[in-house]
Structure 1
Amino acid sequence: MTAALVVVDMQEDFCPPNGSLAVTGARDLAPTINALLAHPGFTFRVSSQDYHPRTHISFASNHPAPNNQPFSSTITLTNPAPGKHGETKPQRLWPVHCVADTPGAALIPELDASRIDLFVKKGMDERVEMYSVFADAFGNRPDPALHARSVDYDLEGELRARGVTKVFAVGVAGDYCVKCTAVDAARAGFESFLVEDATRCVDPGEGWEEAKRELRQAGVRIVKSDGPEVRGLMEGV
């Protein structure tokens, strides 16, 4: 049994007080996440960062009025993969956030980044949203045929190369990027867990309740940082 911890998007733009897409309580997660990073039961530790071009399709300001209101407006995404251009899905629009090489894209200093083994940048293709660290909104994983790749590492391949069987997801936001990462981990065949007290949500009410329904349907287990699933990682350490 080998377990990986995936710390999702603990970045300045997602954290109060000044983040452009701040998630309430996100910065306060650092002590809990740092304790998990220090846990000897995790043999591989990954941190992801949204790393968008300014022209990213999810930014409300890149669309004409009146359908360009952050949080409330939606547009239609088209799958950028060759041969898949007829595939579409709705996309919620967001404020400009985590633009590549800006302070807002940086990991927060409270995070103990010295314990991270792999840093993954995602959401780099302007044409498509990418919540999950594994794949874009259409399930496309890293592929040179896409030309403008959304992510700089094939996380599934990296985990398999290290013999990982369990994936624990934490960070922000629980109802978007953390949820999608945990669901994709389960779909890839890993035993997948989301650590509830180590995540915060854009919508901590009905949005999180719906996310939990999706997680459970996908086979993801929702656990606590001090629960038996994490404590059990000490067996054999």
Structure 2
Amino acid sequence: MASETAFKPALIIVDFQEDFCPPNGSLAVPQGRAIAPVINTLLTLPFALKIATRDWHPPNHISFADNHPGAVPLQSYHTITHPTDPTKSDTTLLWPRHCVQGTKGAELVPELDVDKIDEVLDKGLDPRVEMYSAFWDPMRVSVSSLGDTLRRNGVTHVFVVGLAADYCVKSTAESAAEEGYQTFIVEEGTRPVMKDTWEKEGKKKVEAKGVKIVSIDGEEIARVRRLA
């Protein structure tokens, strides 16, 4: 095991926003709001960096079903072609309108202890591409500042929580692992859209990409606590 001096963990809270939470969110994740106490507990720990991300879509975003005549939210798919390289494409599920810039649904939930967050990073601003990961879209048309921020702060390990486990949390964690960080999803700090699929298949797939799913009561979080 690396020495404690080589351990500089970051906490990334993905898209803990009103539109992803019951009772009124346009794309509410079942029990999404219930993760607040766990995340707030994690925010009290001595992470070197604490970042919250927000989906922050323009009204004309390509992932909104109502921007595609005849499309049905959560059923229809759309193939996005790279704006400058037509040999690259990405097919995505179309969603109900959600997290539109400046709307109530795009706000971080009031239960979240934002005073303990170092930075709020907006994602999904480019209307041309879908962006689940807080690092980049699948074709890397839109690349956020997250990678640079982690490198600048000397981060070695990344812990991911937020919504939803099987979409933006998963994608953000996989990107962090791809960037070379030891990466963890804290299980109690997230919820999936499709629970059965996540439990039966999703967890195995994310772990196959180098991400470890851990408990808030496990050794990995205990190691963060010991930094105090």
TM over 0.5: yes
Cα distance in 1 for residues equivalent to 2:213 and 2:98: 28
Cα distance in 2 for residues equivalent to 1:86 and 1:49: 30
- After superposition, the Cα gap between the structure-2 partners of 1:77 and 1:208, relative to the gap in structure 1 and judged at 3 Å, is farther
Cα distance in 2 for residues equivalent to 1:50 and 1:210: 25
Cα distance in 1 for residues equivalent to 2:198 and 2:141: 25
Checking the alignment, whether the CA contact within 8 Å between 1:175 and 1:208 is kept in structure 2 is: no
Unaligned runs of 5+ in 1: 143-150
Amino acid at match of 1:3: P
Deviation track 1:47-102 (CA, whole Å, cap 9, x = no partner) reads: 0000001111100101111xx1111111101123x4x3321121101000000011
- After superposition, the Cα gap between the structure-2 partners of 1:110 and 1:102, relative to the gap in structure 1 and judged at 3 Å, is same
* Aligned: 1:55 with 2:56: no
Among 192, 196, 200, which residue is 1:201 paired with? 192
Deviation at 1:208, TM superposition (A): 4.5
Checking the alignment, whether the CA contact within 8 Å between 1:49 and 1:120 is kept in structure 2 is: yes
**Across the two proteins, how many residue pairs are aligned to each other?**
222
Amino acid at match of 2:34: D
2:42 — aligned with what?
36
* Aligned: 1:13 with 2:19: yes
* Partner-residue secondary structure (3-state), 1:205: helix
Among 76, 80, 90, which residue is 1:77 paired with? 80
* Partner-residue secondary structure (3-state), 2:57: coil
Cα distance in 1 for residues equivalent to 2:45 and 2:189: 14
- TM-score if structure 2 supplies the norm length? 0.94
Cα distance in 1 for residues equivalent to 2:125 and 2:203: 27
Q: Alpha carbon RMSD of aligned pairs, Å? A: 1.2
Name the % identity: 47
Deviation at 1:234, TM superposition (A): 2.9
- TM-score if structure 1 supplies the norm length? 0.90
Amino acid at match of 2:73: P
Among 61, 64, 67, which residue is 2:69 paired with? 64
Cα distance in 2 for residues equivalent to 1:140 and 1:212: 27
* Partner-residue secondary structure (3-state), 1:171: strand
1:108 — aligned with what?
109
Checking the alignment, whether the CA contact within 8 Å between 2:126 and 2:142 is kept in structure 1 is: no
